[in-house]
Amino acid sequence: MTTDPEMTIRTATPGDRDSILELVRDAFTSADRDASEELDIVVSTWARGVVPELELVAVVGDVVVGHVMAGRGDIGGREAVAVAPLAVAPSHQGAGIGSALVSELLRRAEAAALPLIVLLGNPGYYGRFGFEPSGPLGIVYRPVGEGDPHFLVRRLAGYDPSYRGDFTYCWEARPG
């Protein structure tokens, strides 16, 4: 797996949003599903809790070919950060762009002294970045059930084992 030498990763800007939505639509649409869930997550995270320095795009030339973002959430009443959809343009998948985006997001999260990051994803893919099942750490995402192997945690240097309880994404938080 080699990353395109012409590719750069940078912090996303509001001017990237239309390109990001197009990218997410393309990356998550298939013959048997549309990308509405992922699009809703991205738009809702922008509205309710994106961590600006943890929203990244991969760009080749002037085209956005990859995107990842982290949004604010809550674990047992304490603020936590969660990865929202990782998207890579179908024409650029398999070239290491997703890995480069996740690696840079983790590097920035570590530099920001965050204790951990959570996500809902494929353990086989995210395990290579140090993500592990959340259940043994006492963190639960109720919509998928206690102990679901797809709800993952990446402990960072500032990890604090007192982060325990139910996790809620920013777009799921109730107003008030």
**Confidence check: pLDDT of 107 > 80:** yes
**Confidence check: pLDDT of 133 > 80:** yes
User: Given this model, what pLDDT does residue 113 score?
Assistant: 96
User: Given this model, what pLDDT does residue 1 score?
Assistant: 43
Q: Exposed, middle or buried, 14 (CB in 10 Å: 0-12/13-18/19+)?
A: exposed
3-state secondary structure 69-103: EEEEEEECCEEEEEECCCEECHHHCCCCHHHHHHH
Single pTM value for the model: 0.93
pLDDT tens per residue, range 19-57? 999 999 999 999 999 999 999 999 999 999 899 999 999
pLDDT tens per residue, range 108-128? 999 999 999 999 999 999 999
Question: What domains appear along the chain, each with residue ranges and CATH number?
Answer: 7-172 (3.40.630.30)
